[in-house]
Chain A
Amino acid sequence: MDRKKELDMADLPKDPGFKVPEHYFDTLPTRIMQRTAYAAPARSASPVAWFWQFRTAVAGASLGLVFAVSFLATQYFDANPSTDAVMAQISQQDILQYLVNHEELETADLAEVPAVKPNQSLEFLDVRRTDLNETHTQELLEEEYDYR
């Protein structure tokens, strides 16, 4: 069946009649090519590339976290506590036990202890001054004997 007859509109145009800017179809291919073929290739976000980016980001974040924790820790904890403070935390019994077990402890060491706190140290060590003097005299005699 003839379409125009079917429409019963013999004077209907086949051209829709829209206006187009002059030279539009001369410039359109160039604009399309600039958006496609001539455009810089987009960087592909492959799984491998994504993994490396993620790993770098995690490493950076971890480093930042470590610095932050270290900084906070220095604010709350004293890095160089005094000797008295450290010793105060150790029981007298532990100190005594250490001195008893310490094989390399010599009389000279004991002689140096009173220089710091004589009375207190002798009490801690449970050493009598007469015993110390006797030992010291004996050592002097032995040295004299060796010298001869």
Chain B
Amino acid sequence: MEDKEILEKFQHPDSRNLAFNQLVRKYQQKVYWHVRKMVIDHDDADDLTQEVFVKVWTNLENFRKDSQLYTWIYRIATNECLNFLSAKKKRFFLPIHDVAAELTQKLESTDTLSGDEVQLKLQKALLRLPDKQRLVFNMKYFDDLKYEEISEILGTSVGALKASYHIAVKKIEEYLKKD
């Protein structure tokens, strides 16, 4: 079902549930993977994915169609991730126990990654980046989004995004060479 049709059906009480079910099935994997790459842990990603769709359900009626539906959903998911990581950082008082270290530890547990050494190295390198730089890299590299789309999601200029992605790549290269 196309986004336009989903939105039209959502406006009618009789077809609202059906439309939302279609929306969830269409975007669940994109939302989940976007969140999972940021929070690493499956249970956290599961909670946040559900929260994202609860917010979509609550606010979809007021969606103004100024942007694409999927960029709007991505924006909600991105905000959920950043708020989650920000709250997590506030819980750590000692710098030795920072969030990056905790997430790296989760990466190394047997039930997180499929066991590919290169994947583990790349994820470790990504966790050394600032959250917003990591977001840009994920959306550009893994999700193949255009800079214009990322710009719409993050509210950052295309030029700034290109610079951010370039810096992220350099840092990852350095990390991989060094490691």
Residues of A in contact with B (beta carbons under 8 Å apart): 3, 6-9, 11-21, 24-25, 28-29, 31-33, 35-38
**Measured between alpha carbons, how far is A106 from B170 in the docked complex, in Å?**
122
Contact call B142/A9, Cβ cutoff below 8 A: no
**Measured between alpha carbons, how far is A7 from B28 in the docked complex, in Å?**
29
Contact call A11/B118, Cβ cutoff below 8 A: yes
Contact call A37/B142, Cβ cutoff below 8 A: no
Contact call B24/A32, Cβ cutoff below 8 A: yes
Query: A-facing mask of B29-64, CB < 8 A → 1, else 0?
Result: 100110011001010001001100110010000000
The residue in chain A whose Cβ has the minimal distance to the Cβ of B16 is A37
**Measured between alpha carbons, how far is A125 from B113 in the docked complex, in Å?**
114
Task: List 17 interface pairs A-B (beta carbons < 8 Å), by A numbering.
Answer: A6-B169, A13-B118, A15-B119, A16-B119, A17-B113, A17-B120, A18-B40, A18-B42, A28-B24, A28-B32, A29-B24, A32-B53, A32-B54, A33-B24, A35-B54, A37-B17, A38-B17
Contact call B172/A7, Cβ cutoff below 8 A: yes
Contacts of A19 in B (CB 8 A): 42, 111-114
**Measured between alpha carbons, how far is A15 from B122 in the docked complex, in Å?**
11
Residues of B in contact with A (beta carbons under 8 Å apart): 16-17, 20-21, 24-25, 28-29, 32-33, 36-37, 40, 42, 46, 49-50, 53-54, 57, 111-116, 118-120, 122-123, 141-142, 169, 172-173, 176
Contacts of B28 in A (CB 8 A): 25, 28-29, 32
Contact call B17/A18, Cβ cutoff below 8 A: no
**Measured between alpha carbons, how far is A38 from B141 in the docked complex, in Å?**
37
**Measured between alpha carbons, how far is A19 from B106 in the docked complex, in Å?**
12
Contact call B142/A16, Cβ cutoff below 8 A: yes
Contacts of B172 in A (CB 8 A): 7, 9
Contact call A9/B173, Cβ cutoff below 8 A: yes
B116: contacting residue among A13, A29, A31, CB under 8 A:
A13
Contacts of A24 in B (CB 8 A): 46
B42: contacting residue among A6, A15, A20, A32, CB under 8 A:
A20
Known: A18-B113, A19-B114. A36 touches B42 (CB 8 A): no
**Measured between alpha carbons, how far is A31 from B115 in the docked complex, in Å?**
29
The residue in chain A whose Cβ has the minimal distance to the Cβ of B56 is A36
The residue in chain A whose Cβ has the minimal distance to the Cβ of B52 is A32
**Measured between alpha carbons, how far is A3 from B49 in the docked complex, in Å?**
29
Contacts of B32 in A (CB 8 A): 20, 25, 28
Contact call B122/A13, Cβ cutoff below 8 A: yes
**Measured between alpha carbons, how far is A16 from B36 in the docked complex, in Å?**
10
Contact call B57/A21, Cβ cutoff below 8 A: no
Contacts of B49 in A (CB 8 A): 28, 32
A35 nearest CB across to chain B (Å): 6
A34 nearest CB across to chain B (Å): 10
